[in-house]
Structure 1
Amino acid sequence: MNNEFKNITIDQLPGVVATMKQAHIEAGPASLELRLDRLQRAERLLKENHQALAEAICADYGNRSRYQSLAADVGMSIKSLQHAQENVAQWMQTQENSEPMPGMQARIEFQPLGVVGIIVPWNFPLNLAFSPLAGVFAAGNRAIFKPSELTPKTSALLAQLVSQYFDSLELTTVLGEADVGAAFSAQKFDHLIFTGSTAVGRHVMRAAAENLVPVTLELGGKSPVLVAPDANLRTAVERTLTVKTFNAGQICMSPDYVLLPEGAQDEFVRHAREFMQQAFPTLQGNADYTSLVCDAHFERQIALLEDAKSKGATVVSLAPEGEVAYDAATRKMATVLVLNATDDMRVMQEEVFGPVLPLKSYQQEQEAVAYINAHPRPLAAYYFGDNAENQRRMADMTTSGGLVINDIMTHSSVESLPFGGVGPSGMGAYHGIHGFLRFSHAKAVVEQSPSGESSLRLRAPYGEKLEQLEQILSH
């Protein structure tokens, strides 16, 4: 096994990418057997090291729920890899077209792109590496990870494990700070996938454009929850907070704000308190509750609250009775509701990416739909309500990366559905066959008939052909 790429520096990056691309070309298209082998090795890496990986993530966060790491990072990654293994043989099949003309054959062949760069964020440092990798490997490509500098222990362990399970010409890892990430974005990959903020996504896309590298961007945004007047409010609260408390809200699809019928805020708060008491009777010493990843992210959540309070919002902490709302020492912060949120508050202008949840009232449901449409298109939108006509209107009249009705974030766990954003929340989608297609080139292949009849119409002289063409166009 070749593991020549270790401790890759910025200056070495271009050579590493070029060497991997050359190896891809010389080896020719990856066989089904090789694709399955790579997918299986990735699965084994996760299964055989799941405990060490969960411990590393926990250490990086200060406290990261072991269940959340095993379920969302390890388990979901394995699910993606297994789905690819089960279906890649079918995905690879050439698509035969009907004969364009007698004797002519036309088909679509799916060709690997080559070398794919994967910029991995800190919030799900395994899921958002291996879930796209499932499509990358299924399509017959090689890849390079750039994991986040905010989870250094996890990133270092990932690099070590990748070198044990893969030849460095198949899959390798580049470690480093933001300057390495910027240089990584500027490499001559055959495709680049980035998961992170919209602001950084702009820089990534700009850098990739210099080399005309196609990009997949998963950028998040402010994912709304619209609670209809006919919704079961208790159910809406419980399902919203189930995801809002998962990873302490540090999820690109986490509910970012809630649109409630006028007069429903007090009942929402009551149900929220009941839910939190049941789910987290204690919080600061509770291993099930995840810390914010670093001091800067913790301090930003506090700043969002202070800004909202200074502009007239009522802030309601859902911390257990007798516990503080947040503690800088543990970086644990209870879910905090911001009542009567207004658009001049930062919490309604920026993606929250934490446990702060603004509530905003509306009078008519159409008003709430109009509010969503007046803002950048989100990665996900959530609708609670049982009226089929209103559900249909939400689907038809709003545009988001995904829509979930009467639940939160469920779509991301369905491997056969595309996962991705639209507009400011991203471009391109992966998961399942959508990842295979994203990381493949659909090549048109045509075999001319022996008579070559279809091309004869292009051959001069054109006199008789012109008369026939004019007759056809005049009818």
Structure 2
Amino acid sequence: MTKPADVSTKIEGNVSSEAHSMTELLEIQRAAFLRDGIPDANTRIDRITRLTALLLDHGDEIAEALTVDFGSRPKELSIASDVAGCMIDLAHQRRGVKEWMAESTSAKVQGLMGFKQRVRHDPLGVVGIMGPWNFPLQLTFVPAGSAFAAGNRVLLRPSSITARTTAVIAKYAPDYFSIEELAVITPKHGSGSDFAKLTVDHMFFTGSPDVGKSVAQEAAKNLVPVTLELGGKNPAVVDVSADIDKAAKMLADARMVNGGQVCLCPDYVFVPEAKLGEFTDKVMARWTANFATIYDNPQYTSTINQKNYDRIVDLIDDAVSLGAEKRQVIPGGEPLPSAERRKIPPTLLTGVKAGMKIADDEVFGPVLSVYPYRDLTEAINHIASNPHPLTMYWCGDDNDNLKRLADNTRSGSINGNDFALHMFGAELPFGGVGRSGMGAYHGKTGFDTFSHARAVAYSSMPFTVAEMMSPPFLPRDTKMGNAQMKLWGFFNKRAQKKVRK
């Protein structure tokens, strides 16, 4: 590793990250971190502000690049998600950093006796951030903001699939940052698996569970801690209390965000059996009203590439071949699905059963499966018996049924009556559980993810623990040990009585 003494001059801005290898960039950032020490609040705020400016100053060009990368993607969505969509958390990090980085004291009574205790919130050093293709900037810049708030340097690797968008960021980043602070890793540096091998101080990955496993395995070889933001088949449950029209419209819209290519999109829905026909008809009506044309519609997001297009079409065909019923919105005369445009029409499936690939695989496309239920237990058992999803949707009142669903299932989050609502709560953590991920970020949770809570204990007491725990042990030590056992026994018996009551 490069040491601070080996770096004779500080690297200023306007140096492209592509002038160095990934390993060199890591060494440059680590040396700078050790040379400069822990950054103060103003430095951290300045970095978050420059990160924000990088997005805002080039929003139009970023949106254009995303359209090219996808083939068809509305500018409005790109601005809302990958530019403006980052601002809530970046602004919150900027506001909270001074409070969060301050040392926190505890056990004040013991402090008066000479046993002082406090916790430092130290940066880790260099953080590696790997992003996915569906929201290549939101899912890299937001964690980068958290890493900056915590005082770290950042190696940022957006997805190579959205190469044009990455190129825009790599082109302008040197105008805002020295590579000692932020370095953009491009496909020219190597593959994602190469990046996962870096001995950074924390690796942050957003993507599929299968790739996440690989990243975790590579990081484990170097004992690098990881945060994994993964996906899953997100369920939705429509309660008997729900307004079917509102529920159908919301879930129909939520399924079509970014062409269904969102880790938070609802994948399947449980609907009261008596309302199944009404619900499915209203979903189809909503899609029909929203998509009068698809083939030449620039607002209809294309599937990102041919591989994913073929995968989604195969999931639909497999389900139909095994007995599922398919309903699609295909405007008159349009050749859909279209491999040329990589556009798959909004598709609703009923009669999905075990053994169909779509029953197990995350769709990540414009397909919604609908199941009927007679009792909420059926929905709960289905959700609980499958891998934990990233989120879960509830349509209905905030009632006992919702509590019952929450108590008997696991998911990264729960959203009621709207899509991805928890993304807009500044202090709500974002993260999965089980197969949908480990760790979380957003708000102070993000700051904590990229910080080390470092305990500091200081004594001015008239005796030492060292003396008490090392030979020779005298009769007084035996008496003290016995007294402790009696005291803790008393406390435990009292606790047992409270439990019995």
1:215 deviates by 0.3
Counterpart selection for 2:105 from 92, 96, 109? 96
The aligned residue for residue 247 of structure 2 is: 236
TM-score (norm 2): 0.91
C-alpha contact (below 8 Å) 1:149/1:177 kept by paired residues: no
Higher mean alpha-carbon deviation, 116-125 vs 237-246, is at 237-246
The aligned residue for residue 35 of structure 1 is: 44
Give distance in 1, aligned partners of 2:356 and 2:343. Answer: 23
Give distance in 1, aligned partners of 2:467 and 2:355. Answer: 67
Higher mean alpha-carbon deviation, 176-185 vs 368-377, is at 176-185
The equivalences for 1:199-238 within 5 A come to 199-238=210-249
Counterpart selection for 1:83 from 86, 92, 101? 92
Structure 1 residues 28-77: Cα deviation after superposition (integer angstroms, max 9, x where no partner)? 00111110110000111111100000000001111111111000110111
The aligned residue for residue 471 of structure 1 is: 483
C-alpha contact (below 8 Å) 1:136/1:143 kept by paired residues: yes
- 1:370 matched to 2:381: yes
Give distance in 2, aligned partners of 1:394 and 1:33. Answer: 45
Give distance in 2, aligned partners of 1:219 and 1:71. Answer: 22
Could you say if the C-alpha distance between residues 368 and 178 of structure 1 is closer, same or farther in structure 2, counting changes exceeding 3 Å? Answer: farther
1:264 deviates by 3.0
C-alpha contact (below 8 Å) 2:390/2:431 kept by paired residues: yes
- 1:57 matched to 2:66: yes
Could you say if the C-alpha distance between residues 89 and 474 of structure 1 is closer, same or farther in structure 2, counting changes exceeding 3 Å? Answer: closer
Give distance in 1, aligned partners of 2:132 and 2:277. Answer: 36
TM-score (norm 1): 0.96
Give distance in 2, aligned partners of 1:116 and 1:371. Answer: 38
1:367 deviates by 1.2
- 1:164 matched to 2:189: no
Give distance in 1, aligned partners of 2:172 and 2:359. Answer: 41
1:320 deviates by 3.4
**Which AA in structure 1 matches 2:453?**
A
Q: Secondary structure at the match of 1:326?
A: coil
Q: Secondary structure at the match of 2:187?
A: coil
Give distance in 2, aligned partners of 1:408 and 1:326. Answer: 26
1:257 deviates by 0.9
Give distance in 1, aligned partners of 2:341 and 2:221. Answer: 43
1:3 deviates by 5.0
1:122 deviates by 0.5
C-alpha contact (below 8 Å) 1:120/1:128 kept by paired residues: yes
Give distance in 1, aligned partners of 2:50 and 2:139. Answer: 17
The equivalences for 1:20-419 within 5 A come to 20-99=29-108, 100=110, 102-176=113-187, 180-386=191-397, 388-419=399-430
Give distance in 1, aligned partners of 2:188 and 2:273. Answer: 47
Counterpart selection for 1:433 from 430, 440, 444? 444
Q: Secondary structure at the match of 2:340?
A: coil
Give distance in 1, aligned partners of 2:34 and 2:295. Answer: 53
1:156 deviates by 0.9
Give distance in 2, aligned partners of 1:470 and 1:234. Answer: 69
Structure 1 residues 85-117: Cα deviation after superposition (integer angstroms, max 9, x where no partner)? 111111112111124351221101100001010
Q: Secondary structure at the match of 1:429?
A: coil
The aligned residue for residue 497 of structure 2 is: none
Give distance in 2, aligned partners of 1:355 and 1:3. Answer: 42
C-alpha contact (below 8 Å) 1:46/1:78 kept by paired residues: no
Could you say if the C-alpha distance between residues 234 and 323 of structure 1 is closer, same or farther in structure 2, counting changes exceeding 3 Å? Answer: farther
The alignment's C-alpha RMSD in Å is 1.8
**Which AA in structure 2 matches 1:257?**
Y
Listed as ranges, the gaps of 5+ residues in structure 1 are none
Aligned positions, number: 473
C-alpha contact (below 8 Å) 1:8/1:174 kept by paired residues: no
Q: Secondary structure at the match of 2:410?
A: coil
The equivalences for 1:452-463 within 5 A come to 452-463=463-474
1:369 deviates by 0.4
The aligned residue for residue 19 of structure 1 is: 28
1:160 deviates by 1.1
C-alpha contact (below 8 Å) 1:258/1:358 kept by paired residues: yes
C-alpha contact (below 8 Å) 1:46/1:74 kept by paired residues: yes
1:455 deviates by 4.7
C-alpha contact (below 8 Å) 2:25/2:179 kept by paired residues: no
Could you say if the C-alpha distance between residues 196 and 309 of structure 1 is closer, same or farther in structure 2, counting changes exceeding 3 Å? Answer: same
**Which AA in structure 2 matches 1:65?**
P
Give distance in 1, aligned partners of 2:336 and 2:189. Answer: 32
1:265 deviates by 2.9
Give distance in 2, aligned partners of 1:387 and 1:416. Answer: 21
Query: Which structure has the bigger radius of gyration?
Result: 2
C-alpha contact (below 8 Å) 1:119/1:194 kept by paired residues: yes
Q: Secondary structure at the match of 2:363?
A: coil
C-alpha contact (below 8 Å) 1:318/1:325 kept by paired residues: no
Q: Secondary structure at the match of 1:327?
A: coil
Give distance in 2, aligned partners of 1:298 and 1:395. Answer: 34
The aligned residue for residue 4 of structure 2 is: none
Percent of aligned pairs with the same residue? 36
Q: Secondary structure at the match of 1:360?
A: strand
**Which AA in structure 2 matches 1:37?**
D
Structure 1 residues 260-304: Cα deviation after superposition (integer angstroms, max 9, x where no partner)? 222433212211122123322222222222111111111111111
Listed as ranges, the gaps of 5+ residues in structure 2 are 1-11, 488-501
Give distance in 1, aligned partners of 2:398 and 2:49. Answer: 44
The aligned residue for residue 6 of structure 2 is: none
Could you say if the C-alpha distance between residues 24 and 59 of structure 1 is closer, same or farther in structure 2, counting changes exceeding 3 Å? Answer: same
Structure 1 residues 363-387: Cα deviation after superposition (integer angstroms, max 9, x where no partner)? 2111110110000000001111226
